[in-house]
């Protein structure tokens, strides 16, 4: 399987990406470096996203 990453600004994002972006902007908008609940939630979301990306590229 190959992944094409050179779409510039012309590619419509998939529904999952849109949903994740909306969640990041509405639910997990805290500073992930902060120790309060909103920051911790944002850190968990960011860690989850990193794992998904790493797994998808075999890192």
Banded model confidence at residue 58, pLDDT cuts 50, 70, 90:
very high
Residue 2 maps to a domain? no
Per-residue tokens: 42: 């944002």
Range of the domain at 25: 15-57
pTM of the model: 0.66
Residue 1 maps to a domain? no
Residue 32 maps to a domain? yes
Banded model confidence at residue 51, pLDDT cuts 50, 70, 90:
very high
Count of domains in the chain?
A: 1
3-state secondary structure the chain: CCCCCCCCCCCCCCHHHHHHHHHHHHCCCCCCCCCCHHHHHHHHHHHHHHHHHHHHHCC
**% the chain with pLDDT above 70:** 97
* Model pLDDT for residues 17-45, shown as the tens digit of each residue: 899 899 889 988 889 899 999 999 999 99
Residue 7 maps to a domain? no
Residue in 42, 51, 39 with CA at minimum distance from that of residue 23:
42
Residue 49 maps to a domain? yes
């Amino acid at each position: 399987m190959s992944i094409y990453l050179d779409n510039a600004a012309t590619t419509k994002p998939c529904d999952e990406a849109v949903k994740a972006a909306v969640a990041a902007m509405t639910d997990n908008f805290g500073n992930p470096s902060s120790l309060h609940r909103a920051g911790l939630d944002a850190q968990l979301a960011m860690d989850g996203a990193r794992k998904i990306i790493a797994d998808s590229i075999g890192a």
